Amino acid sequence: MPVHRQPGTILTDHRIQVPLDHAEPDGEQIEVFAREVVAVKKDSDRLPWLLFLQGGPGNRSPRPLGRDGWLARALDDYRVLLLDQRGTGLSTPANRRTLPARGDAAAQAEYLSHFRADSIVRDCEAIRRRLLGEDKSWSVLGQSFGGFCAVSYLSFAPDALDEVLITGGLPGLRTPAQEVYRAAYPRIQRKNAAHYARYPDDVEAVRDIARHLRERPAELPGGGVLTPRAFQALGLMLGSGTGSHTLHYLVEDAFVTGPAGRVLSDSFLAEVQGHLSFAGGPLYALLHEAIYGQVSVSARGTHWAAETVRGEFPAFDADAALDGDGPVLFTGETIHPWMFETDPALAPLRETADLLAQREQWPDLYDPARLAQNRVPVAAAVYHDDMYVDTADSLETARAIRGLRTWVTDEYEHDGLRASGGQVLDRLVQLVRGER
């Protein structure tokens, strides 16, 4: 086990073999990676464990730089385990380079069907037994999609849990994918309105960029194509605390003047590439709608729900906006079929993504009856008008989980755990322990 030291911390790497399909424990094995972090002065202490489940799906765990951010608060009380969920980071990867080894698109889709929250929870159980022992339990901190996984954990293996902390990640227990996005578009529209109220000059600046792209789609440094609808996808950043400001600074210096007139600058295109490319997390696009699939809720599957529902919200039609005089609206956390045409990291996986969208009979991810009898202390931060996770769904789920305590706040956006420097985590620790 490699061990490294950073300022104030000791990091130990763990690699564990788990079944691809936990229903077949003797079948194909994959590897999951987790990094243990402990404060230097507490390395020899018998501390409780805190498992961190990252948001996504398909994002690797944070890479710490010593005692930074929320981790500094966590290390006061816990030995922290940062998990690279299956398919991400240093776990057995799943991307355009590796998935073709599985075979054709159907084989790839079947493989990826084992990469949702139910499998992640079973991975966590295998890791817990390996590191702590069969009879020892631990705590879980779930951010965003990590909170979805934590609710699955409460459904399937509550006896393994001492306490659960959730930030911006209480899912709708019975919400089909289409309803997730039907509720999302109005929230995204409100975030657009707030952005343009904050930066009114951006209305024309964004129209100018979208108009230019309609006439001349631009090639991004990584080979992708920037079209008006791809440009709209930059709205994903509007759900974070500083996202509106970042978007404004990106838009304000989009153009430079060359021999042939105004063109989009290299710096603009490079920054856009960084925001739009799924090269670092293709599972985010491949599984984003599958995380809502549950046979008892919608046996039919997801069927490109965000794209299907988008037609109900004509305000997001960039062509109509440009033909009129209204603002071009950015979209948010929505995945569309065309992304698998314009992004080189996704293009080879287009047929696989389509098969996942068509897949039916996804296993259920939550057990409402068991959650109603929950005995594990749970505290959750619910962000007022969270762009990524519907507040109404979150509060309904909070009521459905016995004993769960909520902190509803508009002080932070969806990235409050990271942005607050430990304050959000500290509040939840106090809540779950009954200190507030």
pLDDT digits (tens, 9 = 90+) for 131-184: 999 999 999 999 999 999 999 999 999 999 999 999 999 999 999 999 999 999
8 Å CB contact between 214 and 322: yes
pLDDT of 345 strictly over 80 = yes
Tokens read off for 138: 């631990």
> Residue 29 carries which side chain, given as an amino acid letter?
Q
User: CA 409, CA 18: separation in Å to the nearest integer?
Assistant: 38
- Torsions phi, psi for 273 (to 5 deg): -55, -45
Model pLDDT, residue 183? 97
Tokens read off for 417: 């755990």
Q: What average pLDDT does this structure show over 190-195?
A: 98
pLDDT tens, 299-318? 889 999 999 999 999 999 99
pLDDT of 216 strictly over 90 = yes
Local confidence band at 86 (pLDDT 50, 70, 90 cut-offs): very high
Pairing outcome for strands 261-264 and 255-258: antiparallel
Average pLDDT, the chain: 97
User: CA 306, CA 320: separation in Å to the nearest integer?
Assistant: 19
Peptide bond into 48 cis (omega under 30): no
Q: Helix, strand, or coil here: 357?
A: helix
Tokens read off for 293: 């699939």
Alpha helices in 159-281 (DSSP H): 177-198, 202-215, 228-232, 243-252, 266-276
Q: Exposed e or buried b for every residue in 381-395, given b needs 16+ CB within 10 A?
A: bbbeebbbbbbebbe
Query: Which residues does residue 14 pair with via DSSP β-bridges, in sequence order?
Result: 34
Catalytic residue IDs: 144, 386, 414
CA nearest to 34, candidates 130, 117, 165, 113: 130
pLDDT of 215 strictly over 80 = yes
8 Å CB contact between 54 and 143: yes
Percent of the chain scoring above 90 in pLDDT = 97
User: CA 116, CA 57: separation in Å to the nearest integer?
Assistant: 8
Model pLDDT, residue 399? 98
Q: What average pLDDT does this structure show over 325-338?
A: 96
DSSP 161-180: EEEEEEES----TT--HHHH
pLDDT tens, 71-85? 999 999 999 999 999
Percent of the chain scoring above 70 in pLDDT = 100
Distances from the Cα of 175 to the Cα of 210, 293, 365, 393, 416, angstroms? 34, 9, 12, 8, 24
Distances from the Cα of 134 to the Cα of 93, 131, 159, 184, angstroms? 28, 9, 11, 41
Query: Which residues does residue 383 pair with via DSSP β-bridges, in sequence order?
Result: 409
Local confidence band at 1 (pLDDT 50, 70, 90 cut-offs): confident
Model pLDDT, residue 394? 98
Please report where in the chains the tokens 């996005």 appear, as a residue: 181
Angle between helices 243-252 and 266-276 (to 10 degrees): 150
Alpha helices in 84-201 (DSSP H): 105-112, 117-131, 145-156, 177-198
Local confidence band at 260 (pLDDT 50, 70, 90 cut-offs): confident
Map out the domains of the chain as residue ranges. Answer: 3-173+366-432, 177-358
Burial class (CB in 10 A: 0-12, 13-18, 19+), 30: buried
8 Å CB contact between 75 and 38: yes
CA nearest to 22, candidates 132, 93, 123: 123
Q: What average pLDDT does this structure show over 79-105?
A: 98
Q: What is the largest distance, in Å, between two alpha-carbon atoms of the chain?
A: 71
Statement: 3-173+366-432 belongs to CATH 3.40.50.2300: no
Model pLDDT, residue 258? 85
pLDDT tens, 366-422? 999 999 999 999 999 999 999 999 999 999 999 999 999 999 999 999 999 999 999
DSSP label at 39? E
Tokens read off for 32: 């999951």
CB contact set of 183 (below 8 Å; sequence gap of 6+): 390, 392, 393
Q: What average pLDDT does this structure show over 52-79?
A: 96
- Torsions phi, psi for 10 (to 5 deg): -120, 130
Pairing outcome for strands 378-383 and 405-409: parallel
